[in-house]
Amino acid sequence: MRVPTDLSRLPLFDHHCHGVLRDEVDREGFEALISESSRPATVGTTRFDSQVGFQVLANCAPVLGLDPFPTPEVYMARRKELGVEEVSRLLLRAADITTFGIETGHGADLITGPQQMAEAGDAAAHEIVRLERIAEQVAEKAREAGTDAVTYLSDLERTLDARLTTAIGVKSIAAYRIGLDFDAARPERVLVQSHAEAFMRRTGALRLDDPVLIRHLIWLAVDRAQVIQFHIGYGDDDVDLHRCNPLLLTDLLRATRDTGARFTLLHCYPFHREAGYLADVFPHVYFDVGLGINYSGSRSEAVIAESLELAPFGKILFSSDAWGAPELFYLGTFLFRRGLAAALDRFGELDGWPLEQRLRVATMIGYENAARLYGVDDRATES
């Protein structure tokens, strides 16, 4: 009889995720964490009535000691009773992640950092730095100190290099700030300087949305042969989804294929098939369906199976893209392990993929591809 693929203990390298909230959240705050909208749920509706909301009630409730499908009120009361630290510990331990790649550039003051995540999740944690955030931080300091654009740009490179002595990669949110239909060419130095000057002349908190400076950052990362994570596709309501198709990066990918830089396309939903194509044709392109897994809930099996269509298995990665709610770490891993096992079993049924081949492919996608790409493997040191 055919043996089903058991991935319940599959080692996972969550190569793109964030921290969990330090403080407790109320019902409205929690509903905001399980939605990509920046607005409260439409009057008369709740975020619990969604794929991800049902997943919380079905599969996170038992981790917190409740029967499946409590009411949202009972679930929130249980969260409060356990306290934020215990809720995080229970869900992160249940997620059973071996390695976190933690991107620290978004809401860092609200969430736990890599060290705390490593402790709470009994895992290894490595940092991924957000290019746009570093550029904003260095610009704010330069503006305060009254330095000129040339000094700012050299400070920016120095800061980036310092961060990269420990960080394992960088992330760009060009998708959010300028869309992916930007000019792929490396911007001229004088142009970069004039845009840096204009950027530092702005008042208030600096939000980098200057296409020239964002292109400059991407090329700095390319010059350093970094792993460059790109937000692709689905995200919060800041994003123009029609400008987030990864095919818009084709010129950039073509221009960088022999530089040593590697690109990881994050989430990609609903463009994961386009991402699979790019991962196939460009040796330095990888992708995951991160955020698309949690939010498609019971349908995530289909999304995961679709991610296994064109892309070579050595180019597919795992991420949860969890931010804030520890539930998203648990669900990201639970749904991924389940969906990947289901897809591989189906291939086994259709074409007789042997168990050892199914397990080998699962291990590549769950851990080995990221370990090779980022040059870290924490499996041997796992307790």
Q: Considering beta carbons, is residue 177 or 195 the nearer one to Zn ion?
A: 177
* Closer residue to Zn ion in complex, CB, 210/321: 321
Q: Give helix 211-223 / helix 149-163 axis angle, nearest 10°.
A: 40
What is the rounded distance in angstroms from the CA atom of residue 12 to the CA atom of residue 40? 33
Q: CB nearer to Zn ion: give 14 or 321.
A: 321
Nearest to 376, CA basis, from 9, 10, 13: 13
Residue 285 CA, distance from chain mean position: 15
Query: Using the 8-state DSSP alphabet, how is residue 130 labeled?
Result: E
CB of 190 to Zn ion, least distance (A): 34
Q: How far is the CB of 368 from Zn ion (least distance, A)?
A: 22
Cross-strand bridge partners of residue 129 = 170
Q: Kindly state the smallest distance separating residue 292's Cβ from Zn ion, in Å.
A: 12
Measure Cα distances from 52 to 17, 24, 46, 294 in Å. 17, 20, 12, 6
Q: Which lies closer to Zn ion via its Cβ, residue 127 or residue 321?
A: 321
Binding mask 173-202 for Zn ion (x = CB under 5 A): ------------------------------
Binding mask 71-90 toward Zn ion (x if CB under 5 A, else -) reads --------------------
CB-wise, 54 or 176, nearer to Zn ion?
Answer: 176
Shortest CB 120 distance to Zn ion, Å = 18
The count of chain residues that interact with Zn ion, using the rule CB under 5 A, is 1
CB of 350 to Zn ion, least distance (A): 34
Residue 304 CA to residue 376 CA, distance in Å, equals 25
Segment contacting Zn ion by CB under 5 A, of 7-15, 152-160, 320-328, 357-365: 320-328
Nearer Cβ to Zn ion, position 107 or 375? 107
Give residue 120's identity as a one-letter amino acid code.
A
Q: In angstroms, what is the minimal distance from the CB of 110 to Zn ion?
A: 14
Q: Are the beta carbons of 298 and 334 closer than 8 angstroms?
A: no
3-state secondary structure of 38: coil
Residue 275-314 contact track with Zn ion, rule CB under 5 A, x = bound: ----------------------------------------
Using CB under 5 A as the binding rule, whether residue 321 contacts Zn ion is answered as yes
Residue showing the smallest CB distance to Zn ion in the complex:
321
Q: CA 61 to CA 59: how far, in whole Å?
A: 6
Min dist. Cβ of residue 179 to Zn ion (A) = 18
Query: With 0-12 CB in 10 A as exposed, 13-18 as middle and 19+ as buried, what is 315?
Result: buried
Based on the shown chain and the rule CB under 5 A, indicate whether residue 210 belongs to the binding site for Zn ion: no
Task: Find the shortest distance in angstroms from Cβ 321 to Zn ion.
Answer: 4
Comparison of 36 and 155: residue with beta carbon closer to Zn ion: 36
Q: Which is nearer to Zn ion, 321 or 368 (CB)?
A: 321
Instruction: Please report how the helices 189-200 and 149-163 are oriented relative to each other, as an axis angle in degrees rounded to 10.
Output: 100
Question: How near is the Cβ of 228 to Zn ion at its closest, in Å?
Answer: 14
Number of helices (H) and strands (E) in the chain: give both, helices first.
17, 7
Q: Which is nearer to Zn ion, 94 or 322 (CB)?
A: 322
In whole angstroms, give the CA distance from residue 368 to residue 359.
12
Distance, in Å, from the CA atom of 106 to the CA atom of 136, rounded to the nearest integer, reads 12
Question: In whole angstroms, what is the distance from residue 275 CA to residue 252 CA?
Answer: 14
What six digits make up the tokens of 213? 């400076």
Which among 67-75, 199-207, 321-329, 336-344 is the span making contact with Zn ion, rule CB under 5 A?
A: 321-329
Using CB under 5 A, list all residues that contact Zn ion.
321
